Structure 1
Amino acid sequence: MQHVLNHAGALLIGGESFAREVHERLGTAMERFTIVPGAVDTDRFTPADSMRAGPVRLFYHGRVDRRKGVLDMIEALPTVAGEWRCTISGIGPDLDAARALTEERGLGARVTFSGYADYDDVPALYRDHDVFVSPTYAEGFSNTILEAMASGQAVLSCEAVGVVDCLRDGENGLLVRPGDVPALAKSLTRLVNDAALRERLGATALEECRRVYSWHAVGAQIIGVYRSLLGSVPCREFAQNIPVESCRYRAEPHLL
């Protein structure tokens, strides 16, 4: 890994917070990194045509995993005031635990588990909801947050690596500390009961997403990086036999 980080012509990474984590763990100089964020197809992920009446629809979509904060969200829901319903979309190692906790907290009538979603069906799922909830503990760069932003949803997430690079609390989303269930419940209550806040956060996120995170914008940025390397001579100082270092993701691929 160090061979690549030290000698590649360019190092592209999703955000400053992730780059800082690599710097702290492996010592790679920050100036080696070029920040190129994740991207989303803003032609496929689009907002609903109009506001909906009735309960506010909360949406969790992704890996059903306690590291993604789904159990924290379920713990927060019983104290969320107002009229709301919640959909948990996806599968994962903690699906059974999430279902059990939902029943234990008496939320069966208000929380729906929709299971695995084909990618072609996902844009419509976002459009059917009002608030995207991603109480994750860490990300590389969150594709689901970008999809929610492109769908015009208000987003509630956490002050975590890979999230703080695209969301700013009170500007284009709401952020709480990872694992802070009372704060999560308080922010959910705000979003459920304040339509103007939902609309403002969603509109700001949508504009920024189309401007910064669309495939067109990010693709142009990547092309620029490749153009800057034209004519450069690649490093040839690699050892003939690069040792294979242990990798936690090879041993535990479910962490990806």
Structure 2
Amino acid sequence: MARFFGKLIEHLVSKLSCDSIAVSAATKNNLESIGVESENIHIIPNGIDIERIEQTVPSSDGCDILFAGRLIKEKNVDMLLEAVNHLRQTVPDIKCHIIGDGPEKERLIGLACERGLLDNVKFSGFMGYDEIIACMKSSKVLVLPSTREGFGMVVIEAFACGVPVITVKNQRNAASMLVSEGTGFVVGTDAGELSDAIRTIITDGVLRKKMSSAALDASRAYDWDMMVSELTHFYMELIQDYHPIG
């Protein structure tokens, strides 16, 4: 029901303006699907405060794998837990840190308990932004197994921390468009495939260092100052083209 009303509001609001801003190509496609003309949609990605991220001190409590986000069905955190279960066979002391709250939390804790993963998986619940960034900086890989992301802020935040990212291939997951072979992996929605990708990154220090450098480079395209400048330019053009009626 909530999704139905969300779609209805999207459709109604899209009719109220001549121009729309989409944060990704996937979001643009979504707007087109509800009737917004392609030429009236402008893609301006979200930005991050790179300076703030650079100044954040890494957490002393490091981990191999980090997930940060709402614990909802679309995030597929259960697939991550199954991947950790696979990995434990060859990497017994693997550590996975799950940050976030949501309706799936109790079920996921139950699944971790059922699989005997409580020594390998830590659930932290809600954390402040700087705390999340500190944890991100002390992890080896960020995993985002979500099948639905309008942009994927956590991906570029991980990039700014020099952390490679693994996400999944899905047409509704815009985050998959942010990740390239140089900055991480895009895998199918299969726990075995996910575990193989995680193993590759956490056990190959040379590859991880290369990906870390590429991730840092990629993050600079999303600097907050650049996005604000682009957005300001967009609004100035709208003002110049505005012709009041009457």
* Count, aligned residues: 230
Measured in 2, the distance between the counterparts of 1:100 and 1:232 equals 57
Aligned-residue RMSD, C-alpha: 2.5
In the aligned structure 2, how far is the partner of 1:12 from the partner of 1:144? 20
- The answer (yes or no) to whether the contact 1:8–1:234 under 8 Å persists in 2 is no
1:149 aligns with 2:156: no
Q: Could you tell me how far apart the structure 2 residues matched to 1:155 and 1:193 are?
A: 15
8 Å Cα contact 2:167/2:176 also seen in 1: no
- Which has a greater percent of helix? 2
* 1:164 maps to which of 176, 196, 199: 176
Counterpart check, 1:175 vs 2:186: yes
Q: Could you tell me which of 76, 79, 102 is aligned with 1:72?
A: 79
Q: Closer, same or farther in 2 for the Cα pair 1:199/1:47, shift >3 Å?
A: farther
1:123 to 1:49, Cα distance in 2 relative to 1, 3 A: closer
TM-score (ref. length: structure 2): 0.84
Paired position in structure 1 for 2:43: 35
1:12 matches 2:24: no
Structure 1 residue ranges, 4+ long, deviating more than 6 angstroms after superposition: 47-50
User: For residues 77 and 165 of structure 1, what CA distance do their matches in structure 2 show?
Assistant: 25
Contact 2:57 / 2:134 at 8 angstroms: preserved in 1? no
TM-score of the pair, normalised by structure 1: 0.81
Alpha-carbon distance change, 114 to 227 in structure 1, aligned in 2, over 3 angstroms = same
**Structure 2 CA distance for aligned equivalents of residues 75 and 9 of structure 1:** 46
Q: 1:127-166 CA distances to partner (integer Å, 9 max, x unpaired)?
A: 2212111100111111211211111101111123321332
Q: Could you tell me which residue of structure 1 aligns to residue 120 of structure 2?
A: 110
Q: Hey, what's the Cα distance between the residues in 2 that align with 1:47 and 1:196?
A: 25
Per-residue Cα deviation, 1:85-107 (whole angstroms, up to 9, x for no partner)? 11111111111111111111111
Which of 231, 235, 242 is 1:226 aligned to? 235
CA contact (8 A) 1:40 1:214 kept: yes
Distance in 1 (CA, whole Å) between partners of 2:195 and 2:158 is 20
Give the Å deviation of 1:75. Answer: 1.1
Q: Residues 1-256 of structure 1 correspond to what in structure 2 (within 5 A)?
A: 4-5=13-14, 8-23=17-32, 25-46=33-54, 57-80=64-87, 81-82=90-91, 84-160=94-170, 161-168=173-180, 170-177=181-188, 179-210=189-220, 212-233=221-242
Contact 1:9–1:234 (8 Å) recurs in 2: no
